[in-house]
Structure 1
């Protein structure tokens, strides 16, 4: 019997695309949460005018809402391939945009600490390099999703999944390098501070020292660190999950999915919305006196 013609009354759940009915309550909570965060990010966008960061977060949150909507629709019809793809592609691609949001921030942190001399890359190049890596991951996952959607046999579907795994693996590799460079910068910054180098007049003049002394700046750094950790955990989970195939025990473990996918991304989005970088950095402008680009405090 064609699986598309199956219903819960005529076929076993073991014949469905995933061997369980996604919980409506749990997925409904995620839809409500991501919907609320989406509205908040849209409101924050013109307030803080951090277009790259906000655009990435908004795109990712839209995909999260669509992905969990697909899971709710999947509850009553787990044999529907369209619902399966809506869930699979949206929730696989969404975090690519959240990673891009993180990549926009490291360069700004380097600027605030005046760490150009101890940074591996120039501040602007962090975003250019890692967002380029993100684009590659996005293309691979999109192509993999497209191949899966038009697959007419198991071999073609397997090819699409493998391309998606390659995209997720490249995302993990980029995140690993990003974390390595961020940790190295933090180590070099700490070592530099231990030498007791005094802040010069230019530092005091441009206001960066005042930003670093704010409690919200420290909270912001903690939020970034936690966000990077949870999205890294999530990305590794998805590589392992997809690598085992749709019939694997992990791919059909709803608890693992809700915790290692849903909860990890929820923590990240809450951190980067409640502690929006604009709160710590504020809007950018130029002083007529020095021509130095500032991160203004309110």
Structure 2
């Protein structure tokens, strides 16, 4: 029979009597974790080993195709953003596995709290990059905002969100009073709320651009038309919207989770966490990997690039990239084009 908890008593091998023997440090700590976790631990439950191991492996595995696709299709910015986001997810679930063994580890909790919270920020940044390329593919004149403006606005918002979440997490974990810990939680909530608002506005920008594309004249470049008409590209655009919705659901959940604090029912319901956080980010990762923009753009990812700098000709940012002048002329009304040609012949 096993030793009695905390007493070092167990059966002597080969006989029926009991003898005293010392317990290891781990054996002395383990019972306290099980009996006192509701009063002293970071959770009122022991984190699941199976669930957290699954997500650790899942996000780790998806790093490989993101690297391969990023290198092959030269989608460097998107690749870096996705890898950072996935690595942070892996670190977060590894830290939670450590909490399964030691519920009182401050270092593991801090690593879990910060990495799991800020990881999706980088995945969102990858989505923002996709929209700016889509705008270049359809035509900048159809977008209410320039790709540069969209990138700067949403990435700045994401950066502020990241700083707030990381700072709040550090304060909440290292606080030596309940009031200071609550202040850290409030800062984290502000960061998550900012992220949720940014994603909601981003969806509105996508909807507005789609409506303007439907009503306006698209860029008539042959290669760009070919890419836009490919079924895989249309599926890719749907996947971008779905990935954004998944991350938005996750952000809203985390706001509600932290709103109640570390002793709230949502924070201590791991099943809800696996569904509304882990599964949402997993689905967003699948969307951005199975329907990667590299194959969807068919070699036009870099062609649809834009720049923060102004061109030498004095045009707006991003307009110096491969949008040919003859393509712009084809978008003018036919009567004006004919008049121009006739005048040219007379001269």
**TM-score, with length taken from structure 2:** 0.76
* Separation (CA, whole Å) in 1 of partners of 2:262 and 2:221: 57
Measured after TM superposition, the shift of residue 228 of structure 1 is 0.6
- Structure in which a larger fraction of residues adopt helix: 1
Residue of 177, 191, 194 corresponding to 1:170: 194
Match of 2:100 in 1: 75
Deviating above 6 A after TM superposition, structure 1's stretches of 4 or more consecutive aligned residues are none
Match of 2:146 in 1: 122
The 1:140/1:68 distance shift into structure 2, 3 A limit, reads same
Equivalent residue of 2:142, what SS? coil
**Which structure exhibits the higher relative contact order, with contacts defined as CA atoms closer than 8 Å and separated by 6 or more residues?**
1
Match of 1:86 in 2: 111
What is the CA deviation profile of residues 90-140 of structure 1, one whole-angstrom value per residue up to 9, with x for unaligned ones?
1001011111111111111112122x2231211222112111111111111
Instruction: Structure 1: state its 5+ residue gaps.
Output: 1-5
* Separation (CA, whole Å) in 1 of partners of 2:321 and 2:269: 53
Contact 1:228 1:268 survives alignment (8 Å):
yes
* Separation (CA, whole Å) in 2 of partners of 1:128 and 1:7: 50
Match of 1:153 in 2: 177
Instruction: Structure 2: state its 5+ residue gaps.
Output: 1-27, 305-319, 324-347
The 1:269/1:139 distance shift into structure 2, 3 A limit, reads same
Alignment of 1:276-287 (within 5 A): 276-281=292-297, 282=299, 283-285=301-303
The 1:70/1:292 distance shift into structure 2, 3 A limit, reads closer
Residue of 27, 30, 43 corresponding to 2:52: 27
Match of 1:203 in 2: 220
What is the CA deviation profile of residues 136-173 of structure 1, one whole-angstrom value per residue up to 9, with x for unaligned ones?
11111121122223311211111111111111111111
Residues 1:234 and 2:250 aligned together: yes
Contact 2:66 2:79 survives alignment (8 Å):
yes
| Greater C-alpha Rg | 2
Equivalent pairs, count: 276
**TM-score, with length taken from structure 1:** 0.87
* Separation (CA, whole Å) in 2 of partners of 1:94 and 1:7: 32
Measured after TM superposition, the shift of residue 177 of structure 1 is 1.0
Residues 1:253 and 2:277 aligned together: no
